[in-house]
Chain A
């Protein structure tokens, strides 16, 4: 019996169709439920964003002491872009690399958890989430010990000749990208797992019946069906990674600074609020545009 049928029988029983009332209350309930969320967004997202955009157009010759005048100085954007182009580009490169690495590491892991873990499935999922039980900072600082100059990792790399005798990992891009990859890996694994886990194994059996070998079945069935997970995972990794500043602060040096560090420094140390705001707006716009292009290409029908 379908849902529609149930409805009809119910109507039949009560005699008079309760349609109108039920519908109307159901309808307004939907919007009432939206209201708290919308208000929240309005107060804590829309208003600050406008404030941010306004700040980015203040006269950058102003100061905290004298105040800032609204002069619609679009030149701030040129200033920000030309001064900090390097850090913008670096952020995008680091974030893209970290996302790629997280995908390479995360896909097999999610695959193993979804299909091969058996009774260890819950345990393995727990382990993926486990890092969240400690602070982001503590985890990143732990990497300082792991990658230390005279630590095991560096010694090993030196002895096999991958790293020059006076080489190091800490305070380099490698350390920052490693940190980014590590910190955002769970955001990649969880959506991948969710979409892999939903795949009906009978599809793979059917594929095999049609003489597809393991690889072809993987390529033609598993990969396309896991695409929503890939899209969600890469977005959840890329977006926070592009704006991150903790990894470059702790594992890198000012030479590895990303745009997040620039915003932090211009806002808190240099007290150049218009430029800081302009950098934030540019970062936001760049990420949104990249995400839109990506989502349009990859498709989101199955995402939601």
Chain B
């Protein structure tokens, strides 16, 4: 007790003696805090538009002198194998290693894309300010690629460096509405969105209409929380064209979805986690991504993928080069390398998504003949004819549709 008293009493004396007292000190601290926060308040008065143009944000290409490349991709999206290195088991990427050896470019490969929106949130500030995002290539789904293009955040690719891509990109993916001549994007892998069901627990679910109305499925169905995927089916059910629809058609599709949700048919809206529920039997049928289903079938052969009668979604995850990436030519070398059918087949044999490279199917016969016949990796023309893309949306309608969709999900 006396110790405290000794310590505190004299300090006031010192203050009275003319030097800094506690009170003035605190006042000083809070004043400087206010000054600092005041200035940041001024800085925070509104934000500039985030849109960039080729003129407003010029990037430099150091590929000639720097043989390196920073590559951000989704997890489990690159063939990998474990090797023993100095007594430790290390994961390596065989095709990527080949690329590094052949072109003598050092690749820093990071699997830090887990979600399109989340990734957008990560690079948003840098790209809006025309600063480097620290990445030379990242891989994003169509609709997000479309948004990045309309914001002017991507570098235009040089077709002269993309001979394999020009030659081997499959026909259906050559002219998406949001990047008609593939000036900014090159598909990494593609996939289908359709229906998956557990054949042990239910009879075949052949159409989206069935999924939404069959009473034996009530409360055992999940849809994807990805607006573009789910609304594509709802639009098809309304007889609208998902590649070219009006906001009225969208509104009607949304109303139908609301009815289905209100009826208790839908257990939940999910991201990737539907796979676990489907294998465990918590869910018997759901809207699903083809590549996931191929993987799930290894664990549970009763999981089946159906191309719904209404049609299905064909989407791609695209390699993009952001503004201020300094190794664009190296990035183009990598894109072209993976459009060599041999490499594409090796990749597809591991990843199990749809391979966007023509000629990879022939190469696959040498790697894994079983996969050649798998329609979820090499879909036939008949299946491809039933696929749709989603209209590219401007920011305002994207925002508006996302808001409506979120409201129905959480109502």
Interface residues of A (CB under 8 A from B): 2-4, 7, 19-20, 23-24, 26-28, 31, 38, 42, 46-47, 50-51, 54-55, 58, 62-70, 83, 87, 144-145, 148-150, 166, 168, 170-171, 250, 252-255, 257, 261-262, 265-272
Contact = CB atoms under 8 A, between A and B. Distances in A.
B40 interface: yes
B174 interface: no
A65 B44 contact: no
B406 A270 contact: yes
Given A65-B150, A254-B409, A50 B399 contact: no
Contacts of A54: 41, 44-45
Nearest to B403: A270
B406 A46 contact: no
B11 A23 contact: yes
Contacts of B219: 166, 168
B48 interface: yes
Contact of A23 (B3, B10, B399): B10
Given A50-B44, A67-B48, A148-B280, 9 more contacts: A4-B3, A24-B14, A28-B20, A31-B25, A65-B151, A68-B46, A168-B282, A266-B406, A269-B406
Given A149-B282, A150-B280, A270-B399, A253 B268 contact: yes
Interface stretch (B59-67, B113-121, B362-370): B113-121
B36 A47 contact: yes
Contacts of B406: 254, 265-266, 269-270
B402 A270 contact: yes
B249 to A, nearest CB: 21
B289 to A, nearest CB: 18
A252 B269 CA distance: 10
Interface residues of B, number: 56
B46 A67 contact: yes
B46 A69 contact: yes
A70 B45 contact: yes
Contact of A63 (B44, B117, B276, B396): B396
Interface string B114-139: 01011011001000100000000000
Given A4-B6, A66-B51, A58 B46 contact: yes
B246 interface: no
Given A23-B10, A253-B269, A268 B120 contact: yes
Nearest to A267: B121
Contact of B267 (A63, A171, A250, A269): A171
A2 B7 CA distance: 15
B18 interface: no
Contact of A19 (B10, B50, B51, B402): B10
A210 to B, nearest CB: 29
B118 A268 contact: yes
Given A268-B121, A270-B402, A27 B36 contact: no
A67 B50 contact: yes
Interface in B376-411: 395-396, 398-399, 402-403, 406-407, 409-411
B29 A170 contact: no
B225 interface: yes
B40 A51 contact: yes
Contact of B269 (A3, A23, A254): A254
Given A38-B29, A144-B276, A254 B49 contact: no
B395 A64 contact: yes
A67 B399 contact: no
B410 A64 contact: no
B103 interface: no
A255 B118 contact: no
A289 B403 CA distance: 30
A64 B3 contact: no
26 contacts: A3-B2, A4-B2, A46-B33, A46-B36, A50-B41, A51-B44, A54-B45, A63-B395, A64-B151, A65-B50, A65-B51, A65-B150, A66-B49, A67-B49, A150-B282, A171-B267, A250-B273, A254-B269, A254-B410, A255-B411, A265-B406, A269-B227, A270-B402, A270-B406, A271-B395, A272-B399
- Pick from B7, B50, B406 the residue with the most CB of A within 10 Å: B406
A20 B118 CA distance: 57
B322 to A, nearest CB: 15
B85 interface: no
B410 A87 contact: yes
A222 to B, nearest CB: 27
A255 B410 contact: yes
B400 to A, nearest CB: 9
Contacts of B51: 65-66
A67 to B, nearest CB: 4
A50 B118 CA distance: 23
Interface in B233-281: 267-269, 273, 276-277, 280-281
B403 A64 contact: no
Contacts of B33: 42, 46
B181 interface: no
A154 to B, nearest CB: 10
B117 A268 contact: yes
Contacts of A266: 406
Contacts of B273: 144, 250
A230 B51 CA distance: 52
Interface in B1-31: 2-3, 6-7, 10-11, 14, 19-20, 25, 29
Contact of B282 (A66, A148, A166, A255): A148
Contacts of B44: 50-51, 54-55, 70
Contacts of B50: 64-65, 67
A31 B24 CA distance: 12
A257 B409 CA distance: 10
A27 B11 contact: yes
Contacts of B47: 58, 62, 67-68
Contacts of A62: 47
A81 to B, nearest CB: 15
Contact of A3 (B3, B37, B281): B3
Contacts of B29: 38
A113 B269 CA distance: 42
A129 B235 CA distance: 50
B272 to A, nearest CB: 12
A266 B10 CA distance: 54
A46 B6 CA distance: 34
